[in-house]
Amino acid sequence: MYLGHSIQALQAAGGEATAREISQQPQSWQKTLASVSEQREQINVFLTPLLSQPDLRIIMTGAGTSAFAGRALAPYLSGQTRRRFEAIATTDIVTDPNEYFAEPCPTLLVSFARSGCSPESVAAVELASQLLPHCFHLVITCNQEGALYQRSLTDDHTLALLMPEETNDRSFAMTSSLTNMMLASLAVFHPDQFTPESFAPVADVCDRMLTEQLDFICGLADDPCQRVIYLGSGSLQGIAQESALKLLELTAGKLLVSFDSPVGFRHGPKSVIDDSSLVMVFISNDPYTRRYDIDLLTELRNDGQARRVIAIADQPDPVISQGEHLFLPATLHANDAALCFPYLLVAQIYAFSRAVNMTISPDNPCPSGEVNRVVQGVTIYPYQNSFRRN
């Protein structure tokens, strides 16, 4: 049984793979951290010379969900390490590499890739190597047969980290593949904070959420709201973006879904709210950022325009408790990078449950083939250095 459904029911609904991959995450995370620990010497040999360069530019890239991994991690890692981390999607890089690779500074391109076969992911790596004089690659992938992993085997400027086999999600949407790649990256660049021991409480909380809070999350999905808005600040804005995509994907685009930061939401996007809207606010644990999150949460509740406003939070707060909310089953007092994992779990379960309620197959929500597990139909054009503008 996964996510409260028997195997037979999941097979009938076309959701067995997605439900299994969501549920397996807490156990797979410990495998990923153990794997990074085992490869620490190799990682240090590769990274130490790069990190010694004060002008090193670290670009976190990927397509779709893999791009949002960078959106979530770059702000946190920049703040914690005082290094230059940027998140740039491969879909942006391939269409205008001259803009994104304009600086000839030493560069480490961190590529997140479930399959490692999407045309843009492969092209972004090749373009970086072509246009940047001092370019290195860290590939974090779930597929040892993928083009990116295979390329790494013959390139001494590349280090590839392979995630546990079960994280190469077979379903349409990325769930365990995303969170394991994110966790591996955190363990690589902030090793003192993300170890099997230090991360165990997060995994334990998520395990408890899959049982103790499953009914609450699935109950949210029983509400037939037509608009869903996810809000988060800093790293949690990347999680809000991924949450919106997950719901959009699994419900085959049948719902109006959006995301923003709590402060940015007031500047126009707030007009999307009506009486069919559910707003989910991911509350930060950073004391300063949290004040802005709670201010908007209070404003939305006082407006009374949304059908429902749900706060998802780690630390209890009397203001949050005044309205609908979900506190984690045990308070982690964790940084926002760690909160990404339970918050994503909420969004994944909700998206899965909405799809099932709408009789849409979570494993294959677009059977007609307009959208595919690995993107198809993309033509990658050769890029000539003569194209570079002065």
pLDDT tens profile 31-82? 999 999 999 999 999 999 999 999 999 999 999 999 999 999 999 999 999 9
pLDDT of residue 367: 72
pLDDT digits (tens, 9 = 90+) for 88-110: 999 999 999 999 999 999 999 99
pLDDT tops 50 at residue 30: yes
- List beta partners, residue 110: 60, 138
Contact 286, 300 (CB under 8 A): no
pLDDT at 381 over 90: no
Query: 380: pLDDT confidence band, cut at 50, 70 and 90?
Result: confident
Task: State both tokens at 185.
Answer: 């990256």
Helix axes 25-38, 40-51, angle to 10 degrees: 70
Q: What angle do CA 184, 187, 193 make, to 5 degrees?
A: 145
The rounded distance, in Å, linking the Cα atoms of 327 and 325 is: 6
Mean pLDDT of the chain: 94
Q: What pLDDT does residue 385 have?
A: 65
What was the pLDDT predicted at 347?
98
pLDDT tens digits, 200-219: 999 999 999 999 999 999 99
User: Any idea how long the chain is?
Assistant: 390
Question: How confident is the model at residue 390, as a pLDDT?
Answer: 34
DSSP annotation string for 341-383: HHHHHHHHHHHHHHHHHTT--SS-S-TTSSS-SS--SPPPPP-
Q: Nearest 10 degrees: CA dihedral of 29, 31, 36, 37? A: 110
For residue 277, pLDDT over 70 is answered with yes
Mean local confidence (pLDDT), 235-246? 98
Taking the C-alpha atoms of residue 192 and residue 186, their distance in angstroms, rounded to an integer, is 10
Q: What is the mean pLDDT of residues 370-375?
A: 55
pTM over 0.85: yes
Per-residue model confidence (pLDDT) at position 254: 96
Token pair recorded at residue 111: 């590529």
> Which residue, among 143, 312, 335, has the nearest Cα to 216 in the 3D structure?
312
Let me know: does 114 contact 88? Beta carbons within 8 Å.
no
pLDDT at residue 387 greater than cutoff 70: no
Element (H, E) at 206: helix 196-212
Q: What is the mean pLDDT of residues 358-369?
A: 86
